[in-house]
Each structure stands twice: as structure tokens, then as C-alpha cells.
């Protein structure tokens, strides 16, 4: 399943988990007054599902039964440090419960209609899977498990723009791509850090909305909804924390969503989240179709020479040559590195919006691609920690020069 694409694909570095290119110029305003609350279809005002009959997670039970076959067939490539850049089985010493959390939070594994949409089923038969197609007996057992998991994936509402429920990486960095809202949103994303403070409280911090180089996004009243494990019934954020939020994120920029954090006090361990909007639309100043082909907006950088000498070569080798140089439309649409050499100033401006000048190690370009992390990004230096450390050191040299400029 190497190269497996998913919702988190284009997050900065290279594929499932790289981000939209951005500068800091963004319009963000709050609505006057209190809008009427809305509840997405499939969500209820109650406490959500009971996790299956008598509180049993039937999906987990089926996974436990098929795990030995999955491990035997997939662990050589899909463990951390394996030959694939899709380590959805986690580290070698992961417990069965930890593997379950890892695989079910991996993009596009647990979905509705798994026979046609789950990457565990579709990718091995695509012809691009280096290990070839999955055996029919294993595919049958995988589908039995995935179909059970699919029962907890709520239908996407038709009346409210909504991202299908997903299992967040907890704790960890999450990138939720907005292409489900329509092809015009391809490459745009909402990112956040998720941490469970208690069994019932999930803290989402550093929530940001990312546009693409050519298109911005306007939205109002974003709403997070919690779906308990093995249940299609959701409960919206009790505080409706972003009810007064109305924002515009211009092309080539990123902005915090509202205040940039929310405490979901209706969280249930092992649950899913969805994101709905009262309204959402694309800002398309050029009236074009968007996509890659030139770095476009970005910047300004104050240490372009350091970027050329330190960051650009590392980015070219590890990111542009992999996906972001134009050979992968989804990745390039999110972060366009096709002009790293031809226009380093513009490229520098884009990447500047993917770094943390105060704490470089917390930069998204590193969180996404660190082999020891769990960001669900399809490129992690093949699990080679030394290669990642060299990449981080080269890019950090520029980041430090930028912060001191």
C-alpha cells in the first residue's frame, strides 16, 4: 500500500497528512449577534451511541480476529521503519489496542462503502501496490471488519457542508482536507493538535485553516461534532464554540480558526469527529481552476539567501522530488515547490507559513514527516530517523536565520 493517498495526503512534506501555501495576510471578522444554532444531519442532542450492543465495540472484536493475518501480510512494509511510507500499523512494539487506534485513524481506512473506498481494499488491487493484490480470503475478512466499522460512519448531510466523521490522532497532529466539500476545495485543510485531557474532554489546539496558493476560503459557523465509538449518532460541541465565527482566508495564507482552540467536553475515548459549516465557499480572485504550476503567492521572507543555501536543497530532494514539485497534483495544489530553484523568494514565502519561528521543532513540515511521529503522512523518510534529522537540521538553519532577521 506504499504511496497510499488519503484525506491527509498533501500536508507539507509530501502526501496523506503537507499544507496549503500561505502568507499572513488574511481577513478575519466575527459576526454580530448570535446566529441560530444548527445541528448537522446524523447528529443528535443526546449523548451519542453506546458503542454497540451492551457497550461492545463489534468492529474492534472483528479486528482482533483478523489482526494476525494483517500483521503477517502487511507488517514488513507498514510498520514504522518498514519499507513503505505508510506505517498504519504503528511501531513494532505496539500493543493490539495501539495498532487498532493507529489503523482506524489512518486516512481513508474506515469509510462508508469500504469495498470501493477503503484504501485497504482498493490500493492492493490498483496495480501500484508493490506487494501485489490482497488474497481473496484476507480481503473477505478485511471487508467483514471494515463493513462493521462503516456502521459507525454517519451519512454526510445534504443540507449542511460537512466533513465525514473521522477518528482523530490523539495525541497528535491532525490535518483534515476539505476536498470532500467539492473539487474546488482540493488542497485546503483544517489542522490541529489533539490531546485528551480526560476520558470526556478533548482539547483541540492550534486549529488553523489553510487555503491554497491560488484560492482562498470563506466560511461561517464551523461546528465540531463528536461521534462515540461504533455509533453513527453524534453530539455537537455543547458550547457551540465557534457560533459567532465568520472568516475569510485569502489565497496563499493560513489563519487560526476563531480563537484557535476548543475544549470538547462531550468527547468519548476512541470516538470520531466531524466538521460542519453553516456556509463555506471558495475565494477565487483569478476565476481559474487553481492547482499547481508556479509558487505564486507567499512571503515575504527576510532570509532568502539562507533559504536557498540550506532549506531549498533539502526540500527539493525530500519534498519536491517526491510529490510537491508538480508530479502530484494534490500535493502540489497544497504546497507548490515547483519554483524552488526558479523563484526561491516566492517558494520561501510559502514555506515560511509552514514553520514555527519560535519553536522550529513544532513546525508542521517536521511534525508531518517525523518517522517517530504519528501524523499519518505518507512520506516519513522511509522510517530513517537519521535522514529526517539531517533534513530538519538543514531547514532549521534557515528558520533560525529567518527568526533573527
In the predicted structure, residue 333 carries a pLDDT above the cut 90: no
pLDDT tens per residue, range 94-151: 899 999 988 988 878 988 889 998 989 998 888 778 888 889 999 999 999 999 988 8
pLDDT tens per residue, range 173-185: 888 989 889 999 9
| Cα–Cα dist 296/292, whole Å | 9
| Cα–Cα dist 357/2, whole Å | 33
Strands (E), 18-76: 27-30
Instruction: Check residue 91 and give its pLDDT.
Output: 85
| Cα–Cα dist 377/369, whole Å | 7
In the predicted structure, residue 13 carries a pLDDT above the cut 70: no
Q: What are phi and psi of 217, to 5 degrees?
A: -140, 135
- Interior angle at CA 33, CA 27 and CA 34, nearest 5: 105
Q: What is the mean pLDDT of residues 55-83?
A: 88
Q: What are phi and psi of 31, to 5 degrees?
A: -75, 145
Instruction: Check residue 2 and give its pLDDT.
Output: 37
Higher-pLDDT residue of 134, 25:
134
315-335 exposure pattern, b = at least 16 Cβ within 10 A, e = fewer: bbebbbebbbbbebebbbbbb
Higher-pLDDT residue of 371, 174:
174
C-alpha cell at 121: 481494499
**Whole-number Cα distances in Å, 321 to 243, 313, 338:** 42, 11, 9
| Cα–Cα dist 267/225, whole Å | 9
Amino acid at each position: 500500500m506504499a504511496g497510499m493517498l488519503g484525506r491527509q495526503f498533501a500536508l507539507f512534506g509530501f502526501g496523506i497528512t503537507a499544507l496549503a501555501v500561505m502568507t499572513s495576510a488574511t481577513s478575519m471578522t466575527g459576526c454580530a449577534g448570535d446566529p441560530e444554532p444548527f445541528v448537522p444531519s446524523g447528529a443528535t442532542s443526546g449523548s451519542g451511541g453506546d458503542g454497540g450492543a451492551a457497550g461492545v465495540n463489534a468492529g474492534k472484536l472483528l479486528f482482533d480476529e483478523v489482526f494476525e493475518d494483517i500483521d503477517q501480510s502487511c507488517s514488513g512494509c507498514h510498520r514504522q521503519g518498514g519499507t513503505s511510507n505508510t506505517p498504519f500499523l504503528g511501531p513494532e512494539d505496539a500493543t493490539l489496542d495501539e495498532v487498532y487506534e493507529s489503523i482506524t485513524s489512518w486516512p481513508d481506512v474506515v469509510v462508508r462503502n469500504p469495498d470501493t473506498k477503503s484504501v485497504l481494499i482498493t490500493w492492493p488491487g490498483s496495480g501500484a501496490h508493490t506487494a501485489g493484490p490482497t488474497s481473496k480470503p484476507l480481503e473477505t475478512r478485511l471487508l467483514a471488519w471494515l463493513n462493521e466499522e462503516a456502521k459507525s460512519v454517519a451519512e454526510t448531510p445534504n443540507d449542511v457542508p460537512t466533513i465525514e466523521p473521522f477518528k482523530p490522532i490523539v495525541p497528535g497532529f491532525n490535518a483534515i482536507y476539505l476536498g470532500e466539500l467539492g473539487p474546488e476545495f482540493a488542497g485546503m485543510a483544517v489542522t490541529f493538535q489533539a490531546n485528551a485531557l480526560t476520558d470526556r474532554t478533548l482539547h483541540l489546539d492550534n486549529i488553523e485553516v489553510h487555503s491554497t496558493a491560488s484560492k482562498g476560503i470563506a466560511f461561517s459557523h464551523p461546528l465540531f461534532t463528536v461521534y462515540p465509538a461504533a455509533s453513527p449518532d453524534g453530539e455537537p460541541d455543547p458550547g457551540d464554540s465557534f457560533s459567532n465565527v465568520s472568516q475569510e482566508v485569502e489565497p496563499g495564507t493560513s489563519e487560526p480558526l476563531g480563537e484557535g482552540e476548543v475544549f470538547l467536553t462531550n468527547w468519548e475515548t476512541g470516538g470520531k469527529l466531524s466538521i460542519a459549516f453553516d456556509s463555506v465557499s471558495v475565494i477565487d480572485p483569478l476565476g481559474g481552476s487553481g492547482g499547481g504550476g508556479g509558487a505564486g503567492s507567499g512571503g515575504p521572507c527576510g532570509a532568502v539567501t539562507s533559504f536557498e543555501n540550506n532549506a531549498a536543497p533539502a526540500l527539493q530532494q525530500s519534498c519536491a522530488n517526491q510529490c510537491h514539485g508538480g508530479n502530484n497534483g494534490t500535493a502540489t495544489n497544497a504546497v507548490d515547490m515547483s519554483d524552488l530553484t526558479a523563484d526561491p523568494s516566492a517558494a520561501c514565502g510559502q514555506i515560511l507559513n509552514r514553520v514555527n519561528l519560535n519553536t522550529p521543532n513544532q513546525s508542521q513540515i517536521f511534525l508531518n514527516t517525523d518517522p517517530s511521529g504519528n501524523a499519518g503522512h505518507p512520506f516519513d523518510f522511509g522510517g530513517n530517523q537519521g535522514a529526517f534529522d539531517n533534513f530538519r537540521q538543514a531547514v532549521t538553519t534557515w528558520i533560525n536565520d529567518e527568526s533573527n532577521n
